[in-house]
Amino acid sequence: MREIVLDTETTGLDPSQGDRIVEIGAVELYNHMSTGATYHQYINPQRMMPQEAFAVHGLGDDFLRDKPLFADIAADFIDFIGESRLIIHNASFDMKFLNAELRWSDRPQIPTQQALDTLAIARKRFPGSPASLDALCRRFNISNTARTLHGALLDSEILSEVYLELVGGRQPDLTLAGNGASVVGHKSQTQEWRPFPRPTPLPSRVSEDELKQHAKLISQLGDTPLWLKFNQ
């Protein structure tokens, strides 16, 4: 199963007010393991960067001026994510911006159901507790010391670790379920598995000499050694 952990940085909070994406970062997972494949792109938003947004991610006008427009990178981005499930923290925010940029580029929208919101998962698992990416890093003891400012690729890499913890730790598909269930992700079984007796018993690995020495030791322990009681 292929999944893409994704994050964006923007000029603000609302594309309907003219805000744009300025950075996309994504990490590829396959069967809940990182493949090492990533997507990372800075984007020219064609507008001035508000100071409030600059304080969050540090991407300024001079840096972004020579970067490509979203329309120029849209094809490569869509090719990378394909139809894979998108793992996003606060998915409604990023999906709103991605679909706005795709609409402005005359490209099809990404279906809402293609995204999985880790913020919603965290709030369900830990009701009433902080569910920001930093808070979840603290909860799961995941280092985010390199995160002085928000960065889309770095945040995606951190989120990939948080996501694996939220769904049961690394390689959750190898977790054996209780109550007779089969391994997650494999064909289910309706009957509880039980071991069958061996058709041919395994030969003893205790030699005759060892049996004699053991019997001699037991004979020296008195008339009613515990060994004889448990060996009946």
Residue pair 116/85 in contact (Cβ under 8 Å)? The answer is yes
**SS3 annotation, 46-67:** CCCCCHHHHHHHCCCHHHHCCC
Q: Which residue, chain included where needed, has tokens 């998962």? A: 121
Sorted by sequence, the CB contacts under 8 Å of residue 116 that are 6+ apart come out as: 3, 85, 86, 87, 88, 91
**9's tokens:** 């940085």
Tokens matching residue 68: 């490509």
Rounded Cα–Cα distance for residues 227 and 232 (Å): 9
Radius of gyration of the chain (CA): 29
Of 144, 184, 173, 145, the C-alpha closest to 161 is: 144
Per DSSP, the three-state class of 132 is coil
Secondary structure letter of residue 96 according to DSSP? H
Q: What are the catalytic residues?
A: 150
